[in-house]
Structure 1
Amino acid sequence: MSMAVNTVPGFYITPTDEDLITFYLKPKAMRQSLPWDGILEKNLYEDNAMPWVILTENDWEISQKTARVYENSVSKDEIYVFTKLKKIAGLRFVRVAGSGYWDDNQVITKIKNRQGEIVGIKKSFTFKVKGGKGQEKIDHKEKGRWIMHEYTLAGVSLVQEVKDSDYAICRIFRDLSKCRKNVAESSEGRQSRLDIDLNN
């Protein structure tokens, strides 16, 4: 998929919330062509759909084209994904993903166009593993921390005929700083033990 990305060195994709709704999500839902082919399509809510499993390292090559500048870390990446929302009995959305789930942060933002009309909704989630805080702490050390902004159509975006209104576009962030720090500390520990063994 990443080989199809039509960008040039030094060119970065930094769409606004309105851009994601107007130029990507709405055309996708209406089965129209998109202005950029670097957005993946994945099922984020299924068995074994933990983010570190479903988003491979090859997928994250695209994030090099969409990377933002962060103040204190170069280990935080972002990627864009189309997914279909999953419902139970057509009433509520389910965001279980393998051994964990996308936990709703209760942050909801109404996205408006330049005319002030509501075109979409943005919600924020954090990936958590099942099994309590202890398991979550272990998981973050091994796999990193994952945050997701989920965009769905709303308001005037639904006035026209939308064939796939259950589509969402997600901006997913991964922060591997804890993971890499843990690996580095483990490596240093092994090196220290090796030095001791050699000196004795």
Structure 2
Amino acid sequence: MVDRDSSEAHMSIAASSIFPGFRFCPTDEELISYYLRKKLDGDEDSVQVISELELCTFEPWDLPEKSFIQSDNEWFFFSPRGRKYPNGSQSKRATECGYWKATGKERVVKSGQNVIGTKRTLVFHLGRAPKGERTEWIMHEYCVNDKSQVNSLIFFFC
């Protein structure tokens, strides 16, 4: 028997390369309340359209080919939040060639009046801090507003 959700996900992925105008364009609220929440709750069949990988093991220019949904400028990934130090709170954001640097303030994402998560913008820099060279690679990092599950993230690149 074919799993209905799984086959729908594969059809959705196929549709993105077959039908002109088809776009995967979720809002911030949808990314957190549907995709990330379902991933954290273990509902893997509902989130198969988003690849899972360890972000800092890849350079940003290697990531587009790893995305299930192909695009010219947007790619979505789930990635566990790595820690820079075992007992610390800083996130691991360095790759072999560079690092992701947070820019601006962390913003809240709401569903109605309820805060459901946060969104942070990061820019990729080649080299090592503080002398890294800014690139055009931008990432939006989404976190669920749930202390018990703060270790999981979703990433969006452009």
Contact 1:99 1:129 in 2 (8 A): yes
**Cα deviation 1:133-171 (Å, max 9, x = unaligned):** 99737xx5xxxx2100000011xxx28xx6x54110011
Cα distance change, pair 4–90 in 1 and its aligned pair in 2 (3 A): farther
What does residue 26 of structure 2 align with? 15
Q: What's the CA shift for 1:132?
A: 7.6
Cα distance change, pair 102–60 in 1 and its aligned pair in 2 (3 A): same
- Structure 1 residue runs of 4 or more that deviate by more than 6 Å after TM superposition: 132-135
- In structure 1, which of residues 102, 119, 123 is the aligned counterpart of residue 120 of structure 2? 123
Which segments of 5 or more consecutive residues in structure 2 lack a partner in the other structure?
Answer: 1-8
Greater fraction helix: 1
Contact 2:78 2:155 in 1 (8 A): yes
* Partner amino acid, structure 2, of 1:109: R
Q: State how far apart, in whole Å, the 2-side matches of 1:78 and 1:113 are.
A: 23
- In structure 2, which of residues 93, 108, 111 is the aligned counterpart of residue 110 of structure 1? 108
What does residue 168 of structure 1 align with? 153
Other structure's SS at 1:95 match: coil
- Identity over aligned pairs, percent: 27
What does residue 6 of structure 2 align with? none
What does residue 80 of structure 1 align with? 76
- Listed as ranges, the matches of 1:66-77 within 5 Å are 77=73
- Looking at CA atoms only, which structure, 1 or 2, has the larger radius of gyration? 1
* Partner amino acid, structure 1, of 2:38: P
- Listed as ranges, the matches of 1:18-33 within 5 Å are 18-33=29-44
**Cα deviation 1:94-153 (Å, max 9, x = unaligned):** 211222100010331100112x1110000000000115899737xx5xxxx210000001
**Cα deviation 1:26-57 (Å, max 9, x = unaligned):** 111111245452211111124xx21123x153
What does residue 52 of structure 2 align with? 41
Other structure's SS at 1:112 match: strand
Please tell me the root mean square deviation across aligned C-alpha atoms, in Å. 2.7
TM-score under structure 1 length normalisation: 0.62
Specify which structure has the bigger relative contact order, considering alpha-carbon pairs within 8 angstroms and separated by 6 or more residues: 1
Cα distance change, pair 109–135 in 1 and its aligned pair in 2 (3 A): closer
Contact 2:101 2:125 in 1 (8 A): yes
Contact 2:50 2:68 in 1 (8 A): no
Q: What's the CA shift for 1:11?
A: 1.9
TM-score under structure 2 length normalisation: 0.77
Contact 2:81 2:153 in 1 (8 A): yes
